[in-house]
Amino acid sequence: MDRVQWQRVGEALKRMMLSDRSRELMIFGIFLLVSTGFWYIQTLDETYELEVQFPLKLKNVPKGVIITSDLPSSLRVVLRDKGTTLVRYYRFNAPPTLFVDFSQRHNDALTGSDEISLSEAQKMVSHYLQPSTSIVSIHADSLEYYYNRGLKRRLPVCIAGTVKTARQYYLTEVVCRPDCVTVWAPQQVLDTMTAAYTEPLDISGLAHHETRTLALASVRGAKFEPSAVQFVANVDLYTEKTLEVPIIGINFPADRDLRTFPAKVSLTFKVGTKMYKQIKEKDFVLAVTYEDLLSNPGNGRFRPHLRSIPDGVSQVRFTPEEVEYLIEQVEEGEE
C-alpha cells in the first residue's frame, strides 16, 4: 500500500470511531468493565473456604541418623476468610514450608519415633496466616516419623504375586536382583521381619523374557536399601524328545544276570528347546532291583522304574510300559 492508500484507511477509521454507534459501544464497554470490577470486589468480600497445601520437612537431622519413615511431604489445610485475603494465599504467594526441627525433639536413642500433634501443626500454620484467617481443618496421612542410628539387618527378597506362562511354555528362571536388601528399623520391627516382599505382581500368559523394576512393599518404621529390585523371568518353549534307554539290574548276585526283551525302552518326554541337545541317554537311569523281580508274580514281565531324571525334563512316557525278562545263571569265569 502506498501513502495515499494509508491516508484513506486512516480517514475511514477516524470516521468510524467518531460515529454515534462507536461512541455508544465505547460507553457500554466502560460501564461493563466498571460493573464487572464492582461485582468482583463485592464477591471477594464474602467469606469462603480454601484448601492450601503447606510443604512439610524435617530439618537439622544429625549425620548418621536415618529417617526410616518420613513425614508427609505436605499438609492440606482448609482456611476460612474473606475472598480478598484468600486470593493472596492462592495466587500471589507460594505457601511457606513448615519445618520440624529434629535436633530439638530427640535424645541420643538408637531408634525411635515422633508424632506431630494437630495442635503443633496448627500452631506452625498459624504463624504464616493473617490474623483474620481461621483454620477449619488439617489433613495428613500421618504426622509420625521414625528414625534410626544404625540398627539394621540383611533380609532376602521374596516376590509377592503370581507368574504364569502361556501354553507350552515354562519358567526356567525367576530371580530378583539383588536377592537381599538392607533394612533399617527399630528392634521390635526387625524382630517381626523374615523377608522383604515386593509390591504385588500378577503376570499371566508369559511367552518371552520379562524384566521389571518392582518396589518393595513399605513397612511402617522401616527403610529398605535399595527400595526397589529388578525382577527377571526367563521362559522356554516345551518340545518332545525320544531316547532309547537301556534297562539295568540292581543288587543282582555275582552269579546272576538280567536279560530284558527289548533291551532298551523308548522314553518320550517334554524338555525346553534350550536344553534339547543337552539331554542324553546317560542322564536317565532305568532300572529294576533283584528283590523286586524275586517278589514278581512270575508272569515273566515287569515295569521298569526311572531312578534318575535330569532337571528340566517332565511328563516322561515309556514304550513299552512293560518288558519281558530272564534271570540267567552266570557260569564261573564267564564274563
Q: What is the mean pLDDT of residues 118-127?
A: 89
What residue type is assigned to position 288 of the chain? V
CB 55 within 8 A of CB 74: yes
Q: What is the mean pLDDT of residues 161-174?
A: 90
| Predicted local confidence at residue 235, as pLDDT | 92
Residue 42 to residue 18: CA distance in whole angstroms = 35
Choice between 230 and 37, residue whose per-residue pLDDT is larger: 230
| Predicted local confidence at residue 12, as pLDDT | 61
R_g of the chain, CA atoms, integer Å:
41
The secondary structure of residue 200, as a DSSP letter, is P
Residue 99 to residue 86: CA distance in whole angstroms = 23
* Residue 112 pLDDT greater than 80, yes or no: yes
Residue 61 to residue 147: CA distance in whole angstroms = 10
Q: What is the mean pLDDT of residues 145-163?
A: 91
Q: Average pLDDT of the chain?
A: 84
Mind listing the pLDDT tens digit for each residue in 190-226? 999 999 999 999 999 999 999 999 999 999 889 999 9
| Predicted local confidence at residue 223, as pLDDT | 94
Q: What is the mean pLDDT of residues 313-334?
A: 82
Residue 280 to residue 307: CA distance in whole angstroms = 15
User: Which of these, 113, 123, 147, lies nearest to 75 by C-alpha position?
Assistant: 123
Residue 252 to residue 81: CA distance in whole angstroms = 100
Residues in the chain: 335
Confidence of residue 13 (pLDDT cuts 50, 70, 90): low
Instruction: Tell me phi and psi for residue 34, to 5 degrees.
Output: -65, -45
Q: Which three cell numbers stand for residue 250?
A: 540292581
Question: How many other C-beta atoms lie within 10 A of the C-beta of residue 251?
Answer: 12
The answer for residues whose C-beta is within 8 angstroms of residue 2's C-beta and 6 or more apart is none
Beta strands 285-289; 256-261: pairing state:
unpaired
Q: Which three cell numbers stand for residue 52?
A: 492450601
Residue 267 to residue 252: CA distance in whole angstroms = 24
Q: Residue-wise over 208-238: b if at least 16 C-beta within 10 A, else e?
A: eeeeeebebeebebbbbeeeebebebebbeb
Q: How far is CA 118 from the centre of its chain?
A: 33
Q: How far is CA 259 from the centre of its chain?
A: 59
The secondary structure of residue 189, as a DSSP letter, is H
The position carrying cell 504464616 is 128
List the single range of 81-90, 121-130, 248-257, 298-307 with lowest mean pLDDT.
81-90
| Predicted local confidence at residue 19, as pLDDT | 61
Full-model pTM: 0.63
Mind listing the pLDDT tens digit for each residue in 47-89? 878 888 899 999 998 888 889 988 999 999 999 888 777 777 7
